[in-house]
Amino acid sequence: MANPPGGSRPTPHAAAPSDATDAERAAGALLLCRAEPDEVAHVARLLRRPLVLCPAGEPGPGGAARWSALVPEDKPWLHGGEPVDRVLTGWATALAVGASWPVLALWWDHERAGLVLCSGFRRPVGYEWAADGTPLGEDEAMRTFVLRLGLAPVLDLQELGPLTREDPESDARARLRGVLAVLARAGLRLPAGLLPGEPADRLRSVAAVVPGNRLLSWSGWRDAVRGEIDAVEHGALGPWLRGPGARFLAGAQCAVGLPLLAYGLRRRDHGWSCAGTLLVAHGLSALAYDRMRAGRGWG
């Protein structure tokens, strides 16, 4: 799990250059968002990474899927000096602070696999397994996982319980698939072939042919802020953008986001840079809201 500024964590599984081929073959990641694809698209573009967005859930009242999956188009964990778990934790954290829905990151490499759940400004909760399935996390993490995702506190927790115990017949990737089986009761429906344990290249190929997929790419701050306003206006923070709380919210987000962005750039930590970027974007969105709605244009 990623650490806040000032913290550190050993990364014993970081691959040496000579191991790059093995790491590339073994590592992969998925981001699962409990929201419709249109909602996810507005926020995910602010990561400024190429991602394939796919519907991944049962349809809601409006016909759109209530879960979405994000598949990385590239592999920054091979070139940025950070292992896949830290990269994905940073992305999930950045998405969650800019949204009203939770984000679940699933990751795996040749030594370990795990999950990280991010929700708003709350501390991320994660669980890991060694490649052979040996549990490396704490049971309390699964209880928090159930509560934050709104799962059944008794039935679903009982189903997740065996995933935290020794089982020589179940490796790390089988455990991740066990988590997905529980989430299926909450409406998650991953497209065929989009499964934990598959190499990143395979996931990208599968995502490219999923009906309703779209490639998300950075299109500049003007479109990003415009889309962010549309997303936030109709979400939980909408009232703050339409009343006297707008400037307060914008100031608070910029005050938190700018130091995070500076920290991420200084440490070359893409996750914290993304989180800072998203917070600053939210602040700018609030400041630009009145101007846009008054019809004064964008430049």
The domain segmentation of the chain, as residue ranges, is 17-215, 221-293
3-state secondary structure of 133: coil
Q: And the tokens for 113? A: 């696999």
Which has more confidence, 67 or 236? 67
**Cα–Cα distance measured from residue 43 to residue 241, given in angstroms and rounded to the nearest whole number:** 17
Q: And the tokens for 12? A: 């014993």
Place of tokens 């599984």: 13
Greatest Cα pair distance in the chain: 64
Residue 124: pLDDT band by 50, 70, 90 thresholds? Answer: very high
Per-residue pLDDT, averaged over 103-115, amounts to 96
**Cα–Cα distance measured from residue 271 to residue 86, given in angstroms and rounded to the nearest whole number:** 8
Tell me phi and psi for residue 114, to 5 degrees: -175, -175
Q: Which of the 8 DSSP states describes residue 59?
A: B
Residue 62's pLDDT is: 78
**Cα–Cα distance measured from residue 241 to residue 235, given in angstroms and rounded to the nearest whole number:** 10
Q: Do residues 15 and 22 lie in contact, with contact meaning Cβ atoms separated by under 8 Å? A: yes
Residue 221: pLDDT band by 50, 70, 90 thresholds? Answer: low
Per-residue pLDDT, averaged over 159-187, amounts to 95
Lowest mean pLDDT among 141-155, 170-184, 271-285: 271-285
Tell me phi and psi for residue 129, to 5 degrees: -135, 145
Per-residue pLDDT, averaged over 241-270, amounts to 69
**Cα–Cα distance measured from residue 101 to residue 268, given in angstroms and rounded to the nearest whole number:** 27
Residue 9's pLDDT is: 42
**Cα–Cα distance measured from residue 18 to residue 26, given in angstroms and rounded to the nearest whole number:** 14
- Beta-carbon contacts of 190 under 8 Å, excluding residues fewer than 6 positions away, are 56, 69, 180
Residue 290: pLDDT band by 50, 70, 90 thresholds? Answer: low
Residue 220's pLDDT is: 58
3-state secondary structure of 93: helix
Evaluate if residue 299 carries a pLDDT over 60: no
Evaluate if residue 121 carries a pLDDT over 70: yes
Q: Do residues 244 and 270 lie in contact, with contact meaning Cβ atoms separated by under 8 Å? A: no
Q: Cα dihedral angle (170, 175, 176, 178), rounded to 10 degrees? A: 110
